[in-house]
Amino acid sequence: MKKRAAEVLTDLAESSNLAAHSSSELAGDVSAAARDDDKQRKEKELDQLRRKSRLQALPAKDLSRVGQLTPWEVLHTFGRSISLARRGAGRGLAEHWGCLKYNQALSGSSNFFMTLSAEGRETAEHYKALQSGELGTGFALALAERLLKRRYPDHFVSIVPADTTMRAGWALTSRDSGPKSGYRYRPHFLAEVWKPGEPSRVFPIASKGNHSGPSASHNQLASASAHVEALHIGEWGQTPCLVFSTELPLDGPLTVHALEAQGSSGWLDAPARVFDHALEDENIYPGIQPPTQGDSPSELEPGYHVKPELYAWFQHALARTAAASLTAFAGDDRATAPYLTKRQGQRHFTGLTHAATDSVQDARHKLLGIDFVGTDHVFRLNRKRVEAFSGVAKDLFHHLEEGRVDQYRRETYARRSTWPSDTWDSRWNGPVSVHPDGSVLAIRLLPRSR
């Protein structure tokens, strides 16, 4: 029997424990899975993968303080991550609303670990790869953000899609202009840990998910190790990273399996640019430069290398892409286009869209005492009409729509610990999730129409 829509909304605001697993045994199992995959690739005469070495467990003290989160917070995290998923090619359908298809997929309470709901289990029978991958992204990025915040308490953490960011410098596919890489392995996301006026640090992230079990997660983490190894920032082999595989069993708690690689690089230590200035596409020759062996330089390895002379540009690309992701989440095409380069998909945010599919920034709501502007979406949930709203704090959005990225970052950094943590707004009468970047996702039942 399906739950009433009001019960579904109540469940979305219910906090649950998140099961996170990281251990030396897990690292060993992933190494074994990587060796098995390498052996199979060799037998099939496939190219051998270069993987991130020295994957290790996250410290137990970090995982013990992960805390609780609500299903709505997970969907907010996922929705923010896909607002530029296709570089705006599907903006008329508001790409980030794709998170709403999972509003009945998760279940839990403060005394239990989060699990799949009855509907989530039913969906898994037909759309296993899609559901596990997308929900896995939400859980992985929520966990990554919390881990990095605890490690860098006086910094801000921004997470952006790697493909969109990297396209400003490299031709990632045959359709992109510039020198082609021909290499399909890349991180899925980039976490930038930053503080105004100081060097930031970047962590490549790879995230996968499955409905199968621990052995599937071992294989996924082995694959993820190749994705994060494809991007080097600074010195060879010293870029820190995070890899995740979220196990969503049909019975039992959701479990995020996580490993990391440490390193001394990842710092973008260069004179800061003015982020308000537009970013232009670069044509960086693909390949990673290994350390020189003897008198002659080593051959380039497949992948992407952010060398010291590119630090300032890369930091600029990260800041502009993060801004575009926020304005797209708020439904403002006109504000989004200037933040993207041609190769990043700027054209998708200009021109006409098909009738009845446009996403427009024209909604305003006060939630948890804060004024937000953004876009809304009305649909039916178990026969009842509901309204979802996504947006950005009004004052911060004003900076973004006027192109003041530096001002936005200064104010967001100053307010990083002041945002409300409530999960329900009684005046709005529905679940609300507010992130430190100033974004919000809210949902409520609409009054019955005549």
Residue-wise pLDDT for 304-326, tens only, equals 999 999 999 999 999 999 999 99
> For residue range 56-70, what is the model confidence (pLDDT) as tens digits?
999 988 887 777 999
Q: Is 292 exposed, middle or buried (0-12, 13-18, 19+ CB in 10 A)?
A: exposed
pLDDT band at 356 (very low <50, low <70, confident <90, very high): very low
Does the pLDDT value for residue 355 go beyond 50? no
> For residue range 359-402, what is the model confidence (pLDDT) as tens digits?
566 799 999 999 999 999 999 998 899 999 999 999 999 999 99
pLDDT band at 449 (very low <50, low <70, confident <90, very high): low
Q: Residue 399: enclosing H or E segment and its boundaries?
A: helix 394-401
3-state secondary structure at position 146: helix
Question: Would you state the pLDDT for residue 291?
Answer: 87
Does the pLDDT value for residue 214 go beyond 50? yes
Does the pLDDT value for residue 36 go beyond 80? yes
DSSP 446: P
Give 214's Cβ-side CA count (13 Å radius): 11
Does the pLDDT value for residue 354 go beyond 80? no
pLDDT band at 351 (very low <50, low <70, confident <90, very high): low
User: Mean pLDDT over all residues of the chain?
Assistant: 91
Does the pLDDT value for residue 229 go beyond 60? yes
Any idea which of 184-193, 350-359, 397-406 has the lowest mean pLDDT? 350-359
Q: Is 125 exposed, middle or buried (0-12, 13-18, 19+ CB in 10 A)?
A: exposed
If one compares 346 and 222, the residue with the highest pLDDT of the two is 222
Cα–Cα dist 29/19, whole Å: 19
pTM: 0.94
Inter-residue contact 345 to 89 (CB < 8 Å): yes
Does the pLDDT value for residue 104 go beyond 50? yes
Spell out the SS3 assignment of 80-125: HHCCCCCCCCCHHHCHHHHHHHHCCCEECCCCCECEECHHHHHHHC
pLDDT band at 90 (very low <50, low <70, confident <90, very high): very low
Beta strands at 106-107 and 363-367: parallel, antiparallel or unpaired:
unpaired
Backbone angles phi, psi at 11, to 5 degrees: -65, -35
Q: Is 182 exposed, middle or buried (0-12, 13-18, 19+ CB in 10 A)?
A: exposed
Q: How many CB atoms lie within 10 A of CB 235?
A: 14
Q: Measured in whole angstroms, how far is the alpha carbon of residue 39 from the centre of its chain?
A: 32
| Residue 309 CB partners (closer than 8 Å, separation 6+) | none
Task: Give me the residue label for tokens 């296709």.
Answer: 86
pLDDT band at 265 (very low <50, low <70, confident <90, very high): very high
Question: Would you state the pLDDT for residue 352?
Answer: 54
Any idea which of 70-74, 81-85, 112-116, 350-354 has the lowest mean pLDDT? 350-354
**Mean pLDDT of all residues in 3-18:** 92
Structure tokens at 423: 């999960």
Q: Is 450 exposed, middle or buried (0-12, 13-18, 19+ CB in 10 A)?
A: exposed
Inter-residue contact 161 to 207 (CB < 8 Å): no
Task: Give me the residue label for tokens 């952006």.
Answer: 160
Cα–Cα dist 17/22, whole Å: 16
Question: Would you state the pLDDT for residue 358?
Answer: 52
Cα–Cα dist 406/399, whole Å: 9
Q: How many CB atoms lie within 10 A of CB 11?
A: 21
pLDDT band at 256 (very low <50, low <70, confident <90, very high): very high
Question: Would you state the pLDDT for residue 199?
Answer: 95
**Mean pLDDT of all residues in 267-271:** 92
Does the pLDDT value for residue 332 go beyond 50? yes
Residue 394's alpha-carbon distances to 177, 368, 387, 397, in angstroms, are 37, 13, 20, 5
> For residue range 165-182, what is the model confidence (pLDDT) as tens digits?
999 999 998 888 888 878
